[in-house]
Structure 1
C-alpha cells in the first residue's frame, strides 16, 4: 500500500479544512444575529435597541438602551428595573423660551417593577 501524499492531496485537505472553518464562522455569526433579535438582516425600523450591557453581578446588569435618538441608562436585576439616568427631554419648555433654566430633574432613581 502506497501512503505517499501528493501536493494535490495536501491542497484538497487544506481547502476542506478552510471550508469547514468558514462554515462554522458563518453559523456562529448567524446565531449571534438571531440571538440579538436583529434577524439576519438588520431592521432599520427598529426603535428600541440595547446599545451596551455591563454585567455587575450574578444577576445584575447595567444597560444602555436607545429609543429612537434618545439613550437611557437602566439597572436590571431579577426583581426590578431601575432608571439610572433621567429620560432626556428634547422638547423646548416655556421656561427655556423665556431664558430661564429648566428645573433640575430628580436625582433619585425610580424603580420600575416588571
Structure 2
C-alpha cells in the first residue's frame, strides 16, 4: 500500500516541523500535524497502549519550542493526566510524564 502511513510509526519533532512523515512530504502546518499525532496518542492511550502513546507524544515533545502553541501544550498536559494513572505500573508512562513535566516547566518560563 504505497503512500499510506505506517500504523504507529515513530516520527521525530524535526520530521513534524518540516512536514516529513513516513517518507512523504506533508504541506500541512506543523501544528496541525502535531495535533494529529496527539489525537493518535489519545486513541492509543484509551486502548491502554503506553508504548504507542509514547512514540506519538515523543515526536511532539521534540518539536522546536516556537511551534508549541498553547493548544498543543494543553493537549499534552491532558495526556499527562491520563498517563499518571498508568505511571505506577508502566515505566514508559512514568518517563513520559517526566518529559511532559519538563516541557510544561520550560514553556511556562517563556
Q: Normalising by the residue count of structure 2, what TM-score does the alignment of the two structures yield?
A: 0.27
Which one has the bigger helix percentage?
Answer: 2
Higher RCO (Cα < 8 Å, 6 or more apart): 2
Q: Normalising by the residue count of structure 1, what TM-score does the alignment of the two structures yield?
A: 0.26
